[in-house]
Amino acid sequence: MHFYGTLNLHTGQELARQAKEMNSQTTAQYLELILETFPGVPILLLWDRAPWHYGQPVRDVLAANSRLEVMYLPVAAPDLNPQEHVWKATREATSHNHMTRRLPELADKFESYLHSNTFKSSFLDCYGLNSLYSIFK
């Protein structure tokens, strides 16, 4: 079981979806979900260099939606990726030292935690982006 996740750095809300596989087609579908969830606003995605972030279906969605922009994070730098902190916190809360015998139950528990919690990130403050954001608000 895999998960797509997107952290709104301003609100701490997490948008997440389970996926049976990670490929460019499921990534493109997830991008459509992001666009539906945040209508009418520009969206900057901070992406690692996972292979499923590339491919024609992803390029097609990005080309068709000018409000989506991607900034790729450096290779092998999970500490720079705010989403990695969300995954870690959720794993600690749902699977570390817990007994869930079936993977589907654990996946549901994982997803429920993502949707029912907010995740603070210092990313914007660390790079001075909160002050820039307030200028353009």
Beta strands, E only, the chain: 2-7, 14-19, 43-47, 68-72
Contact 15, 5 (CB under 8 A): yes
Q: How does DSSP classify residue 67?
A: T
pLDDT at res. 130: 54
| CATH number where 86 lies | 3.30.420.10
Q: Write out the chain's pLDDT in tens, 137 residues.
A: 899 999 999 899 999 999 999 999 999 999 999 999 999 999 999 999 999 999 999 999 999 999 999 999 999 888 889 999 999 999 999 988 778 888 899 999 999 999 999 999 887 777 665 554 554 45
Contact 21, 2 (CB under 8 A): yes
Instruction: Please report, for residues 15, 41, 81, 115, 132, the alpha-carbon distance to residue 120 in angstroms, rounded to integers and kept in the order given.
Output: 14, 21, 13, 14, 19
What are all long-range contacts of 59-64, with beta carbons under 8 Å and residues at least 24 apart?
A: 60/28, 61/28, 61/31, 61/32, 62/31
pLDDT at res. 33: 98
The count of domains in the chain is 1
pLDDT at res. 127: 65
pLDDT at res. 61: 98
pLDDT at res. 38: 94
At 7, give phi and psi (nearest 5°): -100, 125
Domain range spanning residue 56? 2-136
